[in-house]
A and B are shown apart, each in its own frame.
Chain A
Amino acid sequence: MIHSNSVPVLTVQGLRASINGTEILKGIDLTVKSGEIHAIMGLNGSGKSTFAKVLAGHSAYEVTGGSVQFEGKDLLELPPEERARAGLFLAFQYPIEIPGVANTQFLRLAYNTVQTQRGREELDPLEFDDFVREKMKLLDMKSDFLDRSVNEGFSGGEKKRNEILQMALLEPKLSILDETDSGLDIDALKIVAQGVNQIANKDNAMILVTHYQRLLDYIVPDYVHVMQAGRIVMTGGKELALELETRGYDWITENKSSTTGAIA
């Protein structure tokens, strides 16, 4: 939801980043205010997943230019864990499996670490159990989810739900969902979207990185950005996603000068 008086959570200016000497992000400008949901769309290789990882602080990418302000802090100065503690959350496209560690153990460790950093009380295993079960209802998750090893043997849908569960627990200020819809059937997609919608409020913000318009039927964005060759080349409202769905991406290249920055 766009609120006229809301404050910027994230301000990205001229962000450039490369991996192994190859520049992937070639000057990204984006402002996200609290309460807003932004979608970033684009073809494979356009740099949208790189953008998500750079924001989360992945060490494989080198930031070569530009700035990122997050909640008044210089985000690029912070290591990944401090970005997380400051309220930035990345839902992974391919969540990591950790055989041998029970999901509940991992979730509690992450939750307590972040809580402590925010000056709040830790929860003991029993308290946490009550808390996490409440959150699991949002995502229609079975209780054996807690006892199984982190993501091990989870279906694609279960992994993505586990990501959203972590998002629900950590209460981030800004969530970046990297291709959360990929590999999901329509039922799983609805459940995930419903969970995300319940977490979204006027005080937090979200960036949905996606290839297809499908997800946006269930999580309605305030803005849709199109990425091409490491830049945001077009920004529009939710109807832009539908247009991309019917027309593809080719027409943008020709028209981009006329529409870029329409909203920024």
Chain B
Amino acid sequence: MTELPHANYLAGLLKSWSGKPVRPLSWLNDLRARAIDRVSQQALPTKRDEEWRFTDISTLTHLPYLPSRPETHLQRHDIDHLFLSEARIRLVFVDGYFQQQLSTIQNSDDLIIGNLPDFSASHSSILESHLTQYAAFDHNIFAALNTAFLRDGALLIIPKNTTIADPIHLLFIATQPEVTSYTRCLLIGEAGSNVTLVEEYAALEQFAYINNSVTEIALAANAQANHIRIQRESKQAFHLANCSVALAHASRYLSTSISLGSQISRYNLDIRLAEEAAECSVDGLALISDNQLADTHTCIDHVKPNGTSHQQHKCIVDGSAHAVFNGKIIVRPHAQRTNSSQSSRNLLLSKTAQIDTKPQLEIFADDVKCAHGATVGQLDPEEIFYLKSRGLSELSARNLLTFAFGAEIISRISIPSLRQQLEQAVLNQTQSN
């Protein structure tokens, strides 16, 4: 019964796809053609799919949102409140399209930061060897759709042994209602490089749209990336995101993802510790209320020995909102001496709020250290008593503890202005009742 509208939905999307090349470059067009082919062979997931058990996206099928249009009237002053004073390099995409006039780019000889199509000819071999190599689309319909509609995207190539001191801000802004935007990022960190990347999704108005995003990050030996992801889409939006990370020898990936917006958001984060002694730290916070649904699926895949992964995911759920966390950790047979920890902590602020949390450990090596834990609860009465014994009212004690619960993750963000913005957002949301 449900297959039919899905098929119609996809058929509608396929119709809006244009085989016409954006730039006369065969490899990119081949890729798009292969992806559209894969789209036609897949179905939209339903709640019967294990990976989508808790997240019902059937609403999407009633929203025949066509791809967004490239034109925008957005001026700098419309969006400068979203700028980060610490970030001197900033790429702005509006409804998925790169906006040169709103961006600030400083390119040197080796450092590549800009819009992906601008480099598709000059850097075709490096792009070909990375693009879609991590976010495979064969069995992921949203990644396939994103690739089929691939046009603009953020490209960063951090040269060997180069540390970029200031954070780089990728700002994806939604302005058109009832469209689908396809956003894309590719970060290539060459050996020994180090970069801080802020990937932010924001909207200027509260209306419905779909944002389908794919991010790929490849870190070569000893490279480091600090990846801060902020999702504050409109509260009516659908945010469907995939991020795939590949880590080479002794590389280090630090991720902090904050999920505040969207009616329905789904974030798949796949990290593959492909070589020895790779390390990742994965922190997440979902802060939702009303009828929001925030679903985070992570998979940390230890392939080789001596890897380290530490994960802390937190959800604060109010109203009738629903948070989902599925954290898979795979330790493959050769990944001896893996050190992995995972903690999922969840705070329910109302009787109608819902949380589904599922740690999933698949350990095939014997010499490993793996710790995981999940808690779902209300605020701790002992903590409330402590604050009350210092004169705080019940309400202000609760507000402070709720704020603290979220602020613990936010405090790890190394960019002061962003940290303040997010603390304020948490404060506004947690002190509203």
Contacts and interface: CB of A to CB of B under 8 A. Distances in A.
A58 B403 CA distance: 23
A117 B383 CA distance: 22
B391 A96 contact: no
B396 A113 contact: yes
B382 interface: yes
B350 interface: no
Interface residues of B, number: 26
B404 interface: yes
Interface string B115-154: 0000000000000000000000000000000000000000
B400 interface: yes
Interface stretch (A33-41, A78-86, A208-216): A78-86
B394 A100 contact: no
A7 interface: no
B411 A149 contact: yes
B308 to A, nearest CB: 20
A100 B388 contact: no
Contacts, number: 79
B96 interface: no
Contact of A114 (B382, B391, B394): B391
Contact of A100 (B382, B389, B397, B403): B403
Given A59-B381, A106-B400, A81 B408 contact: no
B404 A80 contact: no
Interface in B380-433: 381-383, 385-394, 396-397, 400-401, 403-411
A98 interface: yes
A90 B403 CA distance: 24
A264 to B, nearest CB: 28
Contact of B404 (A56, A99, A166): A99
Contacts of B401: 98
Given A100-B411, A101-B407, A109-B396, A170 B391 contact: yes
A154 interface: no
A95 interface: yes
A150 B192 CA distance: 36
A98 B383 contact: yes
A84 B396 contact: no
A113 B407 CA distance: 22
A110 B408 contact: no
A92 interface: yes
Interface in B356-385: 381-383, 385
A57 interface: yes
B383 A96 contact: yes
A80 B384 CA distance: 10
Contact of B389 (A56, A99, A101): A56
Of B381, B386, B406, B407, most buried by chain A (CB within 10 Å of CB) is B386
Given A100-B403, A100-B411, A95 B386 contact: yes
A100 B383 contact: no
A163 to B, nearest CB: 10
Contacts of A60: 381
Contacts of B382: 96
B408 A85 contact: no
Interface string A162-177: 0000100010000000
A81 B381 contact: no
B427 to A, nearest CB: 11
Given A100-B410, A100-B411, A106-B400, A113 B391 contact: yes
A1 B326 CA distance: 61
B397 to A, nearest CB: 8
A98 B404 CA distance: 7
Given A84-B391, A110-B391, A96 B386 contact: yes
Contact of A117 (B391, B394, B400): B391
A148 to B, nearest CB: 11
A101 B404 contact: yes
Interface string A58-84: 111000000000000000000111011
14 contacts: A56-B385, A56-B389, A60-B381, A81-B391, A81-B394, A98-B383, A100-B405, A101-B407, A106-B400, A109-B392, A110-B390, A110-B392, A149-B404, A149-B411
Interface of A: 56-60, 79-81, 83-85, 89-90, 92, 95-96, 98-101, 106, 109-110, 113-114, 117, 149, 166, 170
Q: Which 5 A-B pairs have the closest CB atoms?
A: A100-B407, A100-B408, A100-B404, A110-B390, A96-B386
Given A96-B386, A106-B390, A110-B387, 12 more contacts: A56-B389, A80-B388, A81-B392, A83-B389, A92-B386, A92-B389, A98-B401, A101-B404, A101-B407, A109-B396, A110-B390, A113-B391
